């Protein structure tokens, strides 16, 4: 009973100890003790402290940390550590400034775990500077040692990063010991990120696919020096330069080699409570090498984050530690090639470790090549379209590393497995994006040539576009979906029951809409009516006008669309496909469409920003998590609905497929390919149609959200009397930006006057910049919707 009491007394004594921070440094002959939490050095301006910081149970490291966000010695934002790989005991460990000049860190039993090895004839002093630099000075003020010279995972503003510097990530979120990722100047003078794991190592940034100059880097300057200035401008002698998204003074910043392998620049928010990312090396977490270990496939979705899963036929080596990857569940034997087969992994890419590259071979020949090689674990098979040498390429591989599914990747991987494993492997693809890809493998089995032509034709004309190799790949994926849903009867009934999604009779809907009396909108192929269902729910019912597609086909498509669930996509509750009637039943949105709201005063800046971000999330879900198989093709404010909490819901997605084209007539075709003012140039120039058409329309929508001006109407510029011409929204905004001397001027000029000057300027600048990237003429210059979400999220929100 006595012990807790003593502890209580002790801790209150500690609490009452007047806070004692050493501003003027640690003098020769004195120590900081791990047992005295108040024994810290603090920089003169109070922004940094140095002292013992807990890193585990009864384990401490000597560290420097930011005093904001407030942390009182636990879970601080650590920027440097003396002994990250060898923590000391929580009793009687200390950091001492010896009279010899040396600074030593001693563990409980006087074992020196770390030292500066400085020898000085005159007395030395340890000080923490305002920039977070811990320096050991002699009596003349000469620097004998400084923490800036040996960074751990963080670079602070004005801290030089040179040929000898490394930023090494920590092992995991809570474990500060050295991890597998590092930033360094390689022998080519290029600032690089490398993964150095237990079994292999590889550079992953700048992208190994690019030549140095293609990545915008230069190899010529062997000075090897990089620095982040205090305004947020990073520049390196290899010509890498970038600006923080919130470039400007008076902001605390740090560049950190994060444990997940990405290099990020953080800024401390004004309230001093949260660090936000203001730049990162790359937006696709699955491109980080080694992130999931060998024999795995990494998947990234904005809502789930990064996920690792074993490649088919492999099992996880150690639970909870993906860095060790997976091991085979089978024995591959070389004298039994007859027992081996290949399983196709759609759009999956594994990095490097090719035995060789074989051009112009068929899939069958490629399989034979891999079978002949005992150590071949599988092969990448791709069709490359180049000007002179179109052809297929076969890359047999000895290792399965960095498996992932890059966006827009049009090749497949074939993993070598025992025949039994291949045939038993039908239903077990465990991709997290359930709604679209869990049936892909199964579908391939049902795929037959006779159907293919028919489906392809159907796909081409019912999707929102013609032509383009890229599109065909997307369509093939789509077709596979249709195939599973081919037979609507007993199975479909079951599916529908489980999701609440159901079939309505025409009579039911006629009654619910009171004989289609209350029309609430007209758009893409139909008229929308308000309805009250028999269970009391208020619904919006869309009656499709020219959908004269067969019932089974209609059902198959509706089924697929009905399975898409995302908070920023409108919920479809059911459909009716009776006789010639084709109706869709959606949830009803009280606040109507964005178009209606934008021209009233109901949307303040925060709501507009939420709508921008939510819409991007909905579209990213359609594009990326579903392997790009749903293009919307008609993004505009009329198709963004607003719920009671002013969250946006994208509607009318998938409609392009529902409206049966029959013969292609220009009149019909022009309707599905979007709306004037929002249409990407690809439509006009007959270029391949990809998800980037939606990105373009989304960019226009953003500009409309900011300016309150409709792109379809054109912009009247004539106040200054100089010009009366109508310009497009994009050129008008670009013109305002180019003409202005300061940010404040152009933001003021273009912001929607209905906001009456009340808006967050930094967010607004981010939104406009994202918008202008989305509306680039060249589709490849536009970001993906996933990237848009990340840009808006990290730069704009919080
Ligand atoms: C941190 O990770 C290292 C390497 O895996 C391990 O040895 C150490 O025990 C971990 N430390 C903590 C506090 O979990
Ligand atoms: C560095 O980049 C700038 C612009 O990005 C370019 O003009 C210049 O040629 C580059 N320098 C080298 C040495 O590559
Ligand atoms: C290399 O970079 C340093 C620092 O920016 C600069 O002073 C020097 O002139 C550069 N050398 C060459 C050859 O470009
Ligand atoms: C960033 O720093 C580099 C090198 O010092 C300089 O050339 C560049 O102009 C700076 N950019 C800005 C926007 O200040
Ligand atoms: C294959 O080779 C292994 C050892 O190399 C041997 O043990 C096995 O019996 C062989 N199997 C066949 C079917 O020849
Ligand atoms: C592949 O074959 C085609 C036609 O025979 C030829 O034109 C092309 O150059 C070949 N490509 C390569 C890479 O050998």
CATH number, domain containing residue 602:
1.10.510.10
639 Cβ contact partners less than 8 Å away, ≥ 6 residues apart: 523, 524, 593, 632, 650, 651, 652
Same domain, 700 and 729: yes
Atom of ligand 3 nearest to the CA of 235: 5
Residue 284 domain-assigned (yes or no): no
Among 335, 338, 340, 418, name the best residue to mutate to test ligand 5's pocket (greatest count of ligand atoms within 8 A of Cβ).
335
Q: How confident is the model at residue 210 (pLDDT cuts 50, 70, 90)?
A: confident
Q: Per residue in 76-85, pLDDT tens?
A: 999 999 999 9
Among candidate residues 634, 652, 694, 795, the one labeled active-site is 634
Q: Which atom of ligand 5 is nearest to the CA of 336?
A: 13
Write out the binding residues for ATP. Answer: 542
Span 238-243, average pLDDT: 90
Tell me, yes or no, if 109 is annotated catalytic: no
Q: How confident is the model at residue 301 (pLDDT cuts 50, 70, 90)?
A: low
Q: What percent of the chain has pLDDT above 90?
A: 33
Q: Which two tokens stand for residue 549?
A: 């597609």
336 Cβ inside 6 Å of ligand 5: yes
Distances, alpha carbon 290 to alpha carbons 199, 255, 259, 404, in Å: 10, 21, 12, 11
* Phi and psi torsions of 418, nearest 5°: -60, 145
In a domain, 96, yes or no: yes
Q: Is residue 71 part of a domain?
A: yes
Q: Whose Cα sits closest to atom 11 in ligand 3?
A: 221
Using most ligand atoms within 8 A of CB, pick from 391, 392, 394 the residue to mutate for ligand 6. Answer: 391
Confidence of residue 714 (pLDDT cuts 50, 70, 90): low
User: Is residue 749 located within the same domain as residue 605?
Assistant: yes
- Ligand 2 atom closest to Cα of 221? 13
The answer to whether residues 703 and 733 touch, using CB atoms and an 8 Å cutoff, is yes
Measured in angstroms, how far is the CA atom of residue 171 from the centroid of ligand 1?
8
Give the residue, by CA position, lying nearest to ligand 2 atom 14. 218
Ligand nearest to the CA of 239: 2
Chain segment 264-292, per-residue pLDDT in tens:
998 888 778 888 778 888 767 788 888 88
> Of 529, 562, 588, which closes a domain?
588
Closest residue by Cα to atom 10, ligand 4, is 233
pLDDT score of 628: 42
Q: Between these two residues, 612 and 451, which has the higher pLDDT value? A: 612
pLDDT at 383: 79
Task: Please state which of the ranges 44-58, 239-253, 537-551, 706-720 shows the lowest mean pLDDT.
Answer: 706-720
464, β-bridge pairs: none
Cis ω before 69 (30° cut-off from 0): yes
Instruction: Calculate the average pLDDT of the chain.
Output: 78
> Distance between CA atoms of 459 and 558, rounded to whole angstroms?
15
Say how far apart CA 428 and CA 244 lie, in whole Å: 44
Pairing of strands 572-576, 502-503: parallel
pLDDT digits (tens, 9 = 90+) for 110-160: 999 999 999 998 888 999 999 999 999 998 889 999 999 999 999 999 999
Least confident of 164-178, 362-376, 386-400: 386-400
Is residue 467 one of the residues assigned to a domain? no
Rounded CA separation 617/258 (Å): 25
Cβ of 189 less than 6 Å from ligand 3: no
Does a structural domain hold residue 468?
A: no
Query: Mean pLDDT over residues 516-541, rounded?
Result: 84
CATH of the domain at 99: 2.90.10.10
Residue with the smallest CA separation from ligand 1 atom 10 is: 175
* Residues 536 and 640 occupy one common structural domain: no
Of 236-245, 588-597, 727-736, the one with minimum mean pLDDT is: 727-736
User: Domain for residue 173, yes or no?
Assistant: no
In this prediction, residue 129 carries a pLDDT of 94
Look at residues 418, 431, 420, 525 and name the one whose alpha carbon lies nearest to residue 477: 431
Same domain, 643 and 735: yes
pLDDT at 6: 41
Q: Indicate which residue's Cα is closest to atom 1 of ligand 2.
A: 239
What number is the average pLDDT over the span 561-588?
A: 83
**Same domain (yes/no): 528, 599:** no
Residues 505 and 377 in one domain: no
Does the pLDDT of residue 361 top 70, yes or no?
yes
Distance CA 769, CA 792 (A): 10
Taking a C-beta distance cutoff of 8 angstroms, is the pair 403, 298 a contact?
yes
Site to substitute for ligand 6 among 358, 385, 390, most atoms within 8 A of C-beta: 390
Task: Find the ligand nearest to 359 CA.
Answer: 6
Tell which residue, 413, 420, 340, 329, has the closest CA to residue 378: 413
Predicted pLDDT of residue 410 = 72
- Listed range (34-43, 661-670, 743-752, 774-783) with the worst mean pLDDT: 661-670
Give yes or no for residue 765 having a pLDDT over 50.
Answer: yes
For residue 777, what are the domain limits?
Answer: 595-798
pLDDT tens, 489-513?
333 322 333 345 777 889 989 999 9
pLDDT of residue 282: 76
Residues in CB range of 664: below 8 A, 6 or more apart: 461
Same domain, 605 and 724: yes
pLDDT above 80 (res 183): yes
**Separation of alpha carbons 234 and 231, rounded Å:** 9
The pLDDT-based confidence of 40 (bands split at 50, 70, 90) is very high
Instruction: Name the residue of 221, 232, 235 whose CB sits within 8 Å of the most ligand 4 atoms, as the mutation to test its pocket.
Output: 235
What dihedral angle (degrees, nearest 10) is formed by the CA atoms of 139, 144, 147, 148? 110
What is the tens place of the pLDDT at every residue in 418-450?
A: 888 787 765 344 443 322 222 222 222 222 222
Same domain, 630 and 523: no
Domain end among 539, 554, 588:
588
pLDDT at 574 over 60: yes
User: Residue 683 domain-assigned?
Assistant: yes
Is 470 a residue whose pLDDT tops 80?
A: no
743 and 686 inside one domain: yes
pLDDT range class, residue 626, cuts 50, 70, 90: low
- pLDDT attached to residue 721: 36
User: Does ligand 1 lie within 6 Å of residue 86's CB atom?
Assistant: no
In this prediction the pTM is 0.57
- Whichever domain contains 308, its CATH number is 3.50.4.10
What is the CATH classification number for the domain harbouring 543? 3.30.200.20
Nearest-ligand number for the alpha carbon of 374? 5
CA of 239 to the centre of ligand 3 (A): 10
Q: Please give the distance, rounded to the nearest whole angstrom, from the Cα atom of residue 250 to the centre of ligand 4.
A: 18
Q: Could you tell me which of 673, 671, 686, 569 has the C-alpha nearest to residue 626?
A: 569
Calculate what percentage of the chain has a pLDDT beyond 70.
78
Q: Ligand 4 pocket, 235 CB below 6 A?
A: yes
Mean pLDDT of 377-395: 79
User: Cβ neighbours of residue 337 under 8 Å, at least 6 residues apart?
Assistant: 371, 372
CA 177 to chain centre: 26
Beta strands in 36-122 (DSSP E): 40-42, 48-56, 59-66, 77-81, 88-89, 94-97, 103-106, 112-115
* CA 335 – ligand 5 centroid, Å: 6
Last residue of a domain, one of 423, 449, 475: 423
Burial of 585 (0-12, 13-18, 19+ CB in 10 A): buried
Is there a single domain that holds both residue 617 and residue 760? yes
Ligand 1 proximity of 198 Cβ (cutoff 6 Å): no
Q: Any idea which of 136-140, 407-411, 502-506, 735-739 has the lowest mean pLDDT?
A: 407-411
736 in the same domain as 621: yes
> What is the pLDDT confidence band of residue 630, given thresholds at 50, 70 and 90?
low
In a domain, 233, yes or no: no
pLDDT for residue 615 = 94
Residues 6+ apart with CB under 8 A from 699: 770, 771, 772, 773, 774, 775, 782
Same domain, 507 and 579: yes
What residue's CA is closest to ligand 3, atom 10? 221
Please give the tally of structural domains in the chain: 4
DSSP assignment string, 398-449: S---SEE--TT---EEEEEEEHHHHHH-SS----S-HHHHTTHHHHHHH--H
Other Cβ atoms less than 10 A from the Cβ of 533: the count is 19
């Amino acid at each position: 009973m006595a012990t807790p009491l003593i502890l209580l007394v002790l801790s209150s004594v500690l609490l009452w100890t007047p806070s004692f921070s050493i501003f003027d440094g640690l003098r020769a002959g004195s120590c900081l003790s791990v047992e005295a939490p108040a024994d810290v050095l603090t920089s003169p301006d109070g922004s940094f402290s140095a002292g013992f910081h807990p890193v585990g149970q009864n384990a401490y490291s000597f560290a420097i940390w930011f005093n904001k966000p407030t942390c009182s010695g636990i879970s601080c934002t650590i920027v440097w550590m003396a002994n990250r790989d060898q923590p000391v005991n929580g009793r009687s460990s200390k950091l001492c400034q010896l009279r010899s000049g040396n600074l030593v860190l001693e563990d409980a039993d006087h074992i020196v775990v770390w030292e500066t090895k400085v020898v000085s004839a005159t007395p030395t002093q340890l000080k923490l500077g305002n920039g977070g630099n811990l320096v050991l000075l002699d009596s003349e003020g000469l620097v004998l040692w400084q923490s800036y010279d040996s960074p751990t995972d963080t670079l602070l503003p004005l801290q030089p990063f040179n040929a000898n510097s490394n930023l090494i990530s920590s092992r995991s979120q809570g474990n500060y010991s050295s991890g597998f990722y590092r930033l360094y100047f390689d022998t080519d003078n290029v600032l690089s990120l490398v993964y150095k794991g237990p079994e292999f190592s590889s550079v992953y940034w700048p992208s190994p696919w690019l030549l140095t100059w293609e990545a915008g880097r230069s190899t010529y300057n062997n000075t090897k020096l990089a620095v982040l200035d205090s305004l947020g401008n990073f520049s390196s002698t290899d010509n890498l330069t970038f600006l923080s998204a919130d470039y400007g003074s008076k902001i605390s910043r740090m560049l950190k080699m994060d444990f997940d392998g990405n290099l990020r620049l953080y800024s401390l928010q004004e309230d001093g409570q949260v660090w936000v990312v203001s730049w990162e090396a790359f937006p696709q977490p699955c491109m980080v090498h080694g992130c999931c270990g060998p024999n795995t496939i990494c998947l990234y979705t904005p809502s789930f984050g990064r996920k690792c899963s074993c490649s088919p036929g492999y099992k996880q080596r150690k639970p909870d530690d993906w860095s060790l990857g997976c091991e085979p569940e089978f024995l591959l034997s070389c004298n039994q090639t007859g027992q081996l087969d290949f399983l196709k992994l759609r759009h999956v890419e594994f990095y490097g470790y090719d035995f060789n590259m074989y051009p112009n071979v068929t899939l069958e020949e490629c399989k034979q090549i891999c079978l002949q090689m005992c150590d071949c674990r599988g092969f990448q098979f791709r069709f490359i379209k180049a000007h002179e040498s179109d052809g297929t390429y076969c890359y047999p591989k000895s290792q399965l590393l960095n498996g992932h599914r890059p966006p827009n990747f049009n090749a497949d991987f074939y993993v070598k497995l025992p025949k039994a494993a291949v045939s038993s492997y039908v239903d077990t693809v465990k991709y997290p994006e359930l709604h679209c890809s869990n049936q892909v493998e199964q579908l391939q089995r049902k795929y037959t040539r006779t159907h293919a032509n028919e489906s392809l034709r159907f796909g081409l004309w019912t999707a929102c576009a013609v032509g383009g190799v890229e599109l065909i790949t997307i369509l093939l994926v789509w077709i596979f979906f249709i195939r599973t849903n081919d037979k609507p009867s007993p199975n479909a009934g079951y599916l529908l029951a489980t999701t609440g999604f159901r079939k309505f009779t025409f009579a039911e809907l006629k009654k619910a809409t009171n004989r289609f009396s209350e029309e609430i909108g007209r758009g893409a192929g139909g008229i929308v009516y308000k309805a009250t269902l028999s269970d009391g729910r208020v619904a919006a019912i869309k009656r499709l006008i020219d959908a004269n597609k067969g019932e089974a086909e209609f059902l198959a498509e509706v089924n697929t669309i009905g399975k898409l669930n995302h908070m920023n996509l409108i919920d479809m509750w059911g459909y009716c496909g009776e006789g010639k009637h084709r109706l869709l039943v959606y949830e009803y949105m009280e606040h109507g469409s964005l178009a209606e709201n934008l021209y009233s005063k109901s949307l303040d800046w925060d709501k507009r920003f939420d709508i921008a971000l939510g819409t991007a999330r909905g579209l990213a879900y359609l594009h990326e998590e579903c392997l790009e198989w749903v293009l919307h093709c008609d993004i505009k404010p009329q198709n963004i609905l607003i719920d009671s909490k002013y969250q946006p819901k994208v509607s009318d997605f998938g409609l392009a497929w529902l409206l049966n084209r029959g013969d292609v007539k220009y009149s019909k075709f022009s309707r599905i390919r979007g709306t004037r003012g929002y249409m990407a140039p690809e439509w006009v120039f007959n270029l391949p149609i990809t998800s980037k058409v939606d990105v373009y329309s989304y960019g226009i929508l953003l500009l409309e959200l900011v300016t309150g001006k409709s792109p379809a109407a054109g912009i009247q510029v004539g106040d200054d009397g100089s010009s009366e011409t109508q310009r497009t929204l994009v050129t008008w905004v670009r013109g305002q930006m180019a003409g202005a001397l300061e940010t404040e001027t152009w933001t003021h000029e273009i912001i929607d006057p209905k906001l009456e000057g009340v808006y967050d300027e930094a967010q607004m600048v981010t939104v406009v910049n994202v918008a202008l990237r989305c509306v680039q003429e060249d589709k490849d210059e536009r970001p993906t919707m996933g990237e848009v979400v990340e840009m808006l999220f990290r730069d704009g929100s919080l």
